[in-house]
Structure 1
């Protein structure tokens, strides 16, 4: 499909990107993203080698999501579709229009027909379809700040109950001398000659085109002949600050938490990026963790395992509980104590898994030795290892 000199694809006016993704026109951003991910996975070329139909579907899905997956682009696309639905083909592609009427010219419709500042559909659709209007933009577009990564170490009990910590961050920020413009203070900028003030360039991928940040101006749309001596023209510097971060109850060791709007400052009034905190949990001396459950090893004596007993088991941050050990309990058996584990996201708690370990005394008193020798004599007929040798010789 041919493009006009503004990069506008005429066939896009006839495409229903919502239908391509299988969602309704009033679908939420999350519904659109979910539909795109599902279709992209099912039709990805790497997963379907040689399947031309799925390769084409993958391209169409990517093209649709590039437009309706972006809030600004989606708004302009909906406005364009409304204009199209209201009067057939309002663009008059190709020479004449039906009925002998003269078709529209893209230069008039999307160009700078009225001179600087005239506005028009070119302003509304230019960045949606990868084209450049002849109108120059004098104000850099707002850009979201970079995301910031950091690590925080907390105690085992704090990981279960939640804690607020202080984080000292050093992150990317606008240069304090040029305010993020990249130009020497007191000098005037001019329009970037590479992107002609659009802030992006168009990369043709064969089936569709993608807008990419201009490599010359970095998306600022304007450039300075004399760079800022402080930042070397990058427009960026370093910012040190301390923030409070709430670590939720039940966080696991190695878990990554996202704090929206706590990252680096944006450019030209853009929003802050996000802060990602990787949590490290200090091990406990007694308790361990397995998912939402806590674990503990409880030593018991031979007679408690053989005859049974009621024993006390500690809980983390609470009163001990009584565990009934049945007679004949083997070493290594695990008992579940409900509701004494880690807190879950829904506010309920996991369980405490108590594993009993039979302890063999290193030193025996005279009476204990005499009693054990009597027990050995009484159980001399038990061939504990009979099956072991029978199976070994099988």
Structure 2
């Protein structure tokens, strides 16, 4: 079974590019074959690290790997899914079956489609915790190749049809004999499209697409978290001369919240209380992520560091129902400023202490006394 690329580099699945690069450099340096006298095991591990980094450093390959795993790069799929297409929805007609058996060079139609399809895009989207809780529709600006309006994506000045490339016969690739070997490369005449334009459009130089900034409305579901990836089909770069567009992948990043931390669907908050509330018990109020006020009952004798759980007051469940919990971590605060009367009351209380009020302290000092021989 192939090793998971993230585990191989020792990084979490949501790691950013900087973390992945640093982890790769450290791991590659530690197991470089030159440092281990040509050890075959180290050499194999070094090659595996390079393979993992080659995929994870590339946004397109990484998005495909996160979705399909190692199957995304098997059978020459180039990260387009286990069946060679971005949708991964299985074979479609005789062309795909023909290509899967005999290869792309034997099937010019599949080759042209692969070369002409637009690239996938990555967009990093930052959200507040409240937006992630409720879900939101966001308007984003994406600068990418879009269908050329001047030629209506045809690539031709007069909207005339493209002609089959004379250099490759429409295959998109050419072969050259070098001794006993046959070298196959992208056709320089049509750049892999299999077609040429007699009178190219001056706006897009015959590609049928031009750089443009588009505004898109995207729906973000409730419950997304750091590292969540959302695929928006068909909103990537436009394909050449009307070919299908790639996909847009949204990568979610969470802003730091002033009150809450997050662990999955659980919200975590620190709640300072006075030492009198800790001793006598009471009630405190904190704002919930949904805007509602949450009352937490403090039991008498609670200790600093203990937690109180409020069921159903946490984050929304992604693609599910209900909510997680809220965990309030209690911090007992010792007063730093006392009035004369308050000090007198506390001194009076201290004079009445027997040690039974604080069993942990009593037990600690008993152990100290025993350790010192009584």
- Name the TM tier (shorter chain): 0.5 to 0.7
1:14-39 Cα offsets, whole Å, 9 max, x none, are xxxxxxxxxxxxxxxxxxxxxxxxx6
> Normalization by structure 1: what TM-score?
0.59
Structure 2 CA distance for aligned equivalents of residues 166 and 227 of structure 1: 34
- Alignment pair present for 1:376 and 2:357: no
- Alignment pair present for 1:348 and 2:366: no
Q: Of the candidates 261, 285, 291, which is equivalent to residue 234 of structure 2?
A: 261
Structure 2 CA distance for aligned equivalents of residues 210 and 328 of structure 1: 80
Contact 2:156 2:208 in 1 (8 A): yes
Structure 2 CA distance for aligned equivalents of residues 64 and 274 of structure 1: 20
Structure 2 CA distance for aligned equivalents of residues 257 and 239 of structure 1: 22
Answer with 1 or 2: which has the greater Rg: 1
Q: Structure 2: which 5+ residue stretches go unaligned?
A: 5-40, 46-69, 356-360
Pairing 1:141-160 to 2, within 5 Å after superposition: 141=113, 143-160=116-133
- Alignment pair present for 1:217 and 2:235: no
Shift of 1:221: 0.7
Q: Of the candidates 362, 377, 381, which is equivalent to residue 336 of structure 2?
A: 362
Q: Of the candidates 80, 83, 97, which is equivalent to residue 69 of structure 1?
A: 83
Q: Of the candidates 278, 288, 293, which is equivalent to residue 261 of structure 2?
A: 288
Contact 2:105 2:173 in 1 (8 A): no
- Number of residue equivalences: 292
Shift of 1:259: 1.4
1:69-109 Cα offsets, whole Å, 9 max, x none, are 24796743897xxxxxxxxxxxxxxxxxxxxxxxxxxxxxx
Which residue pairs with 1:324 in the alignment?
297
Shift of 1:145: 2.3
Contact 1:76 1:128 in 2 (8 A): no
Shift of 1:253: 3.7
- Alignment pair present for 1:238 and 2:211: yes
Contact 1:154 1:281 in 2 (8 A): yes
Q: 1:283 to 1:271 in 2, by over 3 A?
A: same
Structure 1 CA distance for aligned equivalents of residues 252 and 129 of structure 2: 11
Q: What's the RMSD between the two structures over aligned residues?
A: 4.6
Contact 2:209 2:240 in 1 (8 A): no
Structure 2 CA distance for aligned equivalents of residues 392 and 187 of structure 1: 99
Q: Structure 1: which 5+ residue stretches go unaligned?
A: 1-38, 51-57, 80-123
Structure 1 CA distance for aligned equivalents of residues 122 and 96 of structure 2: 37
Contact 2:145 2:237 in 1 (8 A): yes
Structure 2 CA distance for aligned equivalents of residues 356 and 69 of structure 1: 53
Structure 2 CA distance for aligned equivalents of residues 391 and 201 of structure 1: 86
Pairing 1:1-394 to 2, within 5 Å after superposition: 62-63=74-75, 69-70=83-84, 75-76=93-94, 128-132=102-106, 141=113, 143-177=116-150, 191-200=164-173, 214-224=187-197, 229-232=202-205, 234-345=207-318, 346-379=320-353, 383=362, 384-385=364-365, 387=367
Contact 2:99 2:106 in 1 (8 A): no
Structure 2 CA distance for aligned equivalents of residues 212 and 72 of structure 1: 27
> Normalization by structure 2: what TM-score?
0.61
